[in-house]
Every structure is written in C-alpha cells, then in structure tokens.
Amino acid sequence: MMSTPSAVSPEKIQPLDFEKPLIALQKQIEALATAQNNSEGISNQLQTLQQQAESLRQEVYGNLLPAQRLQIARHPQRPNTLEVIQALSPDCWIELHGDRAGADDRAIVGGIIEFEGQPMMVVGTQKGRGMKENLVHNFGMANPEGYRKALRLFEHANKFNMPILTLIDTPGAYPGIEGEQHAIGHAIALNIREMARMNVPIFSVVMGEASSGGALGIGVANHIYMLEHAQYTVISPEGCASILWRSASFATQAAEALKITAQDLTTFGICDAIIPEPQGGSHYDTASAFEAIAKQLKIGLATFKDYSAEALKNQRYEKYRSIGAFTEK
C-alpha cells in the first residue's frame, strides 16, 4: 500500500482566464462581508453584488465553449489518477510495477483496489502535481513500456476474474523517437486487441483530456464514462488547427469542429454516461467529484454483474462496431 498526493485546497484554486471577472466580483463580496460597518447601505450593496455574482456564474458556466471546457479539463489542479484511487479505496491500494521486460513507466500507474467489497484492477495515466512530479510521470504521456505494463495488469485481472477500471487523462502517448524505436504503435495496437478479448467487465473513465492512441491504449471498455468537462479526441485542437489552418491560434475553432466534448460523444454513442462535476470543475470540490465517479462505477458493476465472459466480449464488440455507423437518407 502506498500514500497518494492530497487534493488541492479550494482556497488555492488558480482561476482560468474566463473565470477572472467572476473571481473579481467574489473578492468584492468578501471585502464587503468582512467590513466592520453593517449599515443598511452596505447590506443592500452586498445583496446586489451577490445577485450579480450568481447571474454571472450561471452565464459563465452555463454557456461554456468546447475550448473553455478543455481549459477546465487541463486545469493543473484537477484530480489525478492516484487521487481518484485513494478516494475509491482508501484502505487498499496495492500498486504493481513494471512491464516484466526491464522498465516501469511512471506515466501509467496500476494495481489492485477493493471497491464494493471486491478486488478490482485499476490502471490509469498519471499527471503530477507541479513540475517535479510531472517530470517523474512524463506529464501523463506513456512510452511503449507503459502500455506493456498496462497489458500485464489487464491479463492478471483477467486470470483472477477481477473487473478492470481505467482512468484516462493524457495528451497522448509520448511522441519521442525512443518510443518509435521501441514500437509504440505495436504496443497500443496490441492493447486494443487484447482488451477486446478480456473475459471481465472493463470500465473507462475519461477524467480530463484523452487524446489519440495514447488514450485508446487503455480505453477499450464495455462502458466509457466521461466527467462533464472531459474531452476525448483523435488529435488536440492545437494540433488540428496547425494542420488545417497552419496556426495553433485557431484552436478554439478546431475544438468546436472536432466535437470532442462529453456531451457530443454521448450523442454519438461513444460515451455511455456523463459524470457530473461541481460547478467550475472537479478541482473546486474534489469530494463531490469522487462520489460521482464511485456512484457511476457502482451502476456499471451492477449492469454487467450477471454477464458471462462471452456476453461481455460480444457487448464490447457491438459497441465499437456501431461507432461511426450512419444512415444516408
């Protein structure tokens, strides 16, 4: 069992650019609320500002653009994989290391937890808290060795009939030359094939951003859940804009065109359920976010409780075969 990093205090949340007017208004409210003069004039002004803040809050968070949701998904204080694991199973976390070929890629972490009274294998991409931890975990960008470690853990779970949970938050697999030399494409493709063959239920939770093969390498599941502001995409908006418009400055337009939000992907049948987040994102109330993830996972386990191995594989097959299907009129 190992200790995990603690969540960030709400008082230390770094506001995003589109949140700054709301933060400024909130500071005015706090200044008035702590003023010594409790005159009727100040009370009325405080009430007016509170009404303005609530109206602005609804306007800001009720009309988020895909690019703004992506900013939330990438927030540096957003809960990461190890924090979710600690919340789901505070008393049991047995981390398993290595790909059994000489490496332990820390961009992917995995091990056994106890959830709802049963053992479960959890594998996820891990982003760090701050530069030092991010360097240890390579900013959540795995090398081939990370996917081989993940596959080893999937096979272990399959052997001992443990459900599998994958937690995805990655800008993609590491795009370095060493990854190509070590066959990153083969490692991801092998994971996709073998996850499709597993005899146990598999659940994937997209917690932040899930990009390209880096996400798919641990993302073949019976059910895919996405946090409300999470995004799942074949390419980042910046990368897409650089190709189509020859400039990353068009990333906002690309994010809109790519249809990568949880809401879009639910419409397309890729996401099976949206996990609600606290207003502003999971980093504002991590406890509520963890409870929502646990609630959805319980629903998933109950859904597939009586499925046979063959039924699980068939359901997984049909899910992915139906993605992208359309009818012309």
pLDDT tens-place string over residues 174-211: 999 999 999 999 999 999 999 999 999 999 999 999 99
- By the 10 Å C-beta count (0-12 exposed, 13-18 middle, 19+ buried), 276 is classed as middle
Average pLDDT, stretch 85-108?
A: 95
For residue 2, the model assigns a pLDDT of 39
The type of residue at 77 is Q
Pick the CATH number of 68-322 from 1.10.3720.10, 3.90.226.10, 1.10.4160.10, 3.40.50.2000: 3.90.226.10
Q: What percent of the chain has pLDDT over 90?
A: 80
Low-confidence winner among 4-13, 25-34, 231-240 (lowest mean pLDDT): 4-13
Whether 11 has a pLDDT exceeding 80, the answer reads no
Q: Can you read off the two tokens belonging to residue 30?
A: 């706090």
Q: Are 108 and 126 in contact (CB under 8 A)?
A: yes
Chain mean pLDDT for the chain: 92
Confidence band for 9, pLDDT divided at 50, 70 and 90: low
For residue 329, the model assigns a pLDDT of 65
Rg of the Cα atoms in the chain = 21
What are 277-304's pLDDT values in tens digits?
Answer: 999 999 999 999 999 999 999 999 999 9
Average pLDDT, stretch 263-275?
A: 95
For residue 191, the model assigns a pLDDT of 98
For residue 105, the model assigns a pLDDT of 96
Whether 109 has a pLDDT exceeding 80, the answer reads yes
For residue 5, the model assigns a pLDDT of 46
Q: Look at 269 and 44; give whichever has higher pLDDT.
A: 269
Whether 140 has a pLDDT exceeding 90, the answer reads yes
What does the alpha-carbon distance between residue 230 and residue 204 come to, in Å, rounded to a whole number? 13
Place of tokens 């039924």: 311
For residue 16, the model assigns a pLDDT of 93
Residues 6 or more apart in contact with residue 317 via CB below 8 angstroms: 196
What are 42-68's pLDDT values in tens digits?
Answer: 777 888 888 888 888 899 999 899 999
What does the alpha-carbon distance between residue 4 and residue 83 come to, in Å, rounded to a whole number? 6
Whether 262 has a pLDDT exceeding 90, the answer reads yes
Q: Are 157 and 200 in contact (CB under 8 A)?
A: yes
Q: Where are the beta strands (DSSP E) in 41-197?
A: 93-95, 108-115, 118-125, 164-170
- Among candidates 74, 122, 53, 66, which has minimal Cα distance to 283? 74
Residues 6 or more apart in contact with residue 165 via CB below 8 angstroms: 115, 120, 121, 122, 123, 202, 203, 204, 205, 297
For residue 314, the model assigns a pLDDT of 97
For residue 52, the model assigns a pLDDT of 87
Concatenating the DSSP letter of every residue in 160-224 gives TT--EEEEEEES-S--SHHHHHTTHHHHHHHHHHHHHT-SS-EEEEEEEEEEHHHHHTT---SEE
